[in-house]
Amino acid sequence: MESIYQPVADLILRRQPCVALTGAGISAESGIPTFRSKGGLWEKFDPTVYASIEAFRGDPSKYWSIRGEFIRNYDAYQPNPGHRALAELESMGLLRHVITQNIDGLHRKAGSRSVTEIHGSLREIFCIQCGKEYRAPNIPEGTPPRCECEGVLKPNTVLFGESLPIQALETAWREAGGCRVMLVIGTSAVVQPAASLPFIAKEHGAALVEVNLDKAFSNADYFLEGKAGTVLPELVSEMRKQS
């Protein structure tokens, strides 16, 4: 009997390059909550109050007060089989790039080398006054944590109302426009400009493959329903059989 993964495995083997766009869903199985699934972070906290640059400028302690709800200790989280499957695809020469909205660094930890973190990363925290950088596990105590110079510290991530780092955005546009298959994994695809990347890929002739618990894209060519940590390793194993 033909596996449900076979047509997608075929597609990726035949049509290169392939690029992945990932969202919070791929890290859910690493124990990091998503934003908009049931019980997600934005169900409990209003992002305009807790995660916008305007709110951060007014009162940074709000942002820092929910830090523990999301990623308490950057170094404590480990990649899951979904992240590892993408790293494996890259090493097989079948995945050119990962564009991620996630700030948890788990793609790199899993071994992916070609990664663009379009919403930045929690790896570095910097002082908004003097620019001094801290590593994530060494954030000074206190809410909001402060630099030696007393300036407020902010992670190197994009808050609502902030522009994306231009270089990352340009890479994302180039990769989306140049791929022939895009794997869209674990994103509700409502936050721009990330949400437009699959449309850019499609406009340039790429096939879209969505991996999600619930379909977020009506224009996907293939929908693989399920957890990324199950679906992606199955897909890689199908490709290993065929290559």
CA distances, 171 to each of 75, 92, 118, 129, 149 (Å): 27, 22, 9, 29, 35
Residue nearest to ligand OAD (CB): 25
Question: In the set 37, 65, 114, 156, which binds ligand OAD (CB under 6 A)?
Answer: 37
Report the alpha-carbon distance of residue 77 to residue 36 in Å, rounded.
20
Q: Which stretch binds ligand OAD (CB under 6 A): 70-78, 125-133, 180-188, 196-204?
A: 180-188
Question: In the set 216, 220, 235, 236, which binds ligand OAD (CB under 6 A)?
Answer: 216
Catalytic residue among 83, 107, 119, 204: 119
Report the alpha-carbon distance of residue 178 to residue 215 in Å, rounded.
24
Question: In the set 59, 75, 170, 214, which binds ligand OAD (CB under 6 A)?
Answer: 214
Give the count of residues interacting with ligand OAD (CB under 6 A).
Answer: 27
If binding is defined by CB under 6 A, does position 66 make contact with ligand OAD? Answer: no
Q: What would you measure as the largest C-alpha separation in the chain, in angstroms? A: 66
- The residue among 162 and 221 lying less far from ligand OAD, judged by its C-beta, is 162
Angle at 25 between CA 19 and CA 30, to 5 degrees: 110
If binding is defined by CB under 6 A, does position 116 make contact with ligand OAD? Answer: no
Q: Which stretch binds ligand OAD (CB under 6 A): 22-30, 67-75, 130-138, 165-173?
A: 22-30
- Is 119 a known active-site residue? yes
If binding is defined by CB under 6 A, does position 51 make contact with ligand OAD? Answer: yes
What three-state secondary structure class fits 64?
Answer: helix
- The residue among 179 and 211 lying less far from ligand OAD, judged by its C-beta, is 211
Angle at 181 between CA 12 and CA 11, to 5 degrees: 30
Token readout for 158 is: 């994009």
Q: What own/partner pairs with CB < 8 Å and gap ≥ 24 does 146-152 have?
A: 151/127, 152/60, 152/127, 152/128
Q: What is the contact surface with ligand OAD in residues (CB under 6 A)?
A: 23-25, 28-29, 34-37, 40, 47, 51, 101, 119, 158, 160, 186-188, 191, 211-214, 216, 227-228
User: What are the catalytic residues?
Assistant: 119
